[in-house]
Amino acid sequence: MKIVVCIKQVPDTVDVKINPKTNNIDRDGVKSVINPFDLNAIEEALRLKETYGGEVAVVTMGPPQGRKALKKALAMGCDHGYLISDRALGGADTLATGYPLAKAIEKIGNVDLIFCGRQAVDADTGQTGPIVAEFLDIPQVTFASEIKMDGDHAIVTRLLERSTQKVKVKLPALITTTKELNEPRFATAMSIMQSAKKEITVWNSQDIECDPNRIGLKGSPSRVLSIFPPQHKTGNTVYLEGSTEEIAQQIMNVLEEHKAI
């Protein structure tokens, strides 16, 4: 089985800064980590490899520091790392991100299964995985909380808002993963040493034969017009003292005063 996992680096902080010119996240000086949902994707790919054999490749698009994320994935047990890095890719929205990822997967070739995290925690759109599937013209199953293989099909339990849904999909397919799917492993000292021998292949947009009109800002039909932090509203807090009966009576008095009862 040949599996590809698409991962993204996200800021390792909730105190993000916004570039006032582009309205995008300013990542300068901010430590980046693998998107948490992508760790579940890596873990599931490795479990399938351990059960059914094959290999796992991990792909990311971004600046040269994307190597760090790939090295961690290789230390977890992935076999190959691919970095798509090109200034022409900068400023991409989800459509212009999904397109080069799909082109890279096509170049890797003969892929049976693709994993993506359900969403990235920095933008929370959940769009990139499904976009990759559309460009590759393969079926997709989102929000996977359990995956079982049945020959050339995957049986996936989808975690919906108030229910679950079981879907059987024929491979090749793309699946997005939830945190409920598994518990990501930690890299061991041995696996870290072994990962040092694994190469990371770097491709630019020409290497994967991207249409220059479909990447970067030129290929991004959506724009961030404005971005702002949510307003924090605070109300007056009243602390009640006394016995249980006295506090209950005070609450009743307040509710009566405000004509709530």
pLDDT for res 233: 75
Task: Find the mean pLDDT for residues 135-146.
Answer: 97
Task: Find the mean pLDDT for residues 8-21.
Answer: 70
Cis peptide bond N-terminal to 20, omega within 30: no
pLDDT for res 235: 73
pLDDT for res 118: 93
Task: Find the mean pLDDT for residues 47-76.
Answer: 96
In Å, what is the CA distance from 65 to each residue of 38, 41, 163?
A: 17, 21, 40
* Rounded Cα distance, 221 and 31, in Å: 29
Confidence of residue 234 (pLDDT cuts 50, 70, 90): confident
Find the range with the poorest average confidence among 49-58, 84-93, 120-129.
120-129
Confidence of residue 247 (pLDDT cuts 50, 70, 90): very high
In Å, what is the CA distance from 1 to each residue of 51, 53, 156, 178, 179?
A: 10, 6, 17, 22, 23
pLDDT tens profile 32-44: 899 999 999 999 9
Task: Find the mean pLDDT for residues 245-249.
Answer: 92
Confidence of residue 16 (pLDDT cuts 50, 70, 90): low
Handedness of CA 6, 204, 98, 218 (dihedral sign): positive
pLDDT tens profile 165-222: 999 999 999 999 999 999 999 999 999 999 999 999 999 999 999 999 999 999 999 9
Confidence of residue 261 (pLDDT cuts 50, 70, 90): confident
Confidence of residue 254 (pLDDT cuts 50, 70, 90): confident
Pick the CATH number of 2-214 from 3.40.50.720, 3.40.50.620, 3.40.50.300, 3.30.390.10: 3.40.50.620
Task: Find the mean pLDDT for residues 78-84.
Answer: 97
Q: Domain limits of the chain? A: 2-214
pLDDT averaged over every residue in the chain: 91
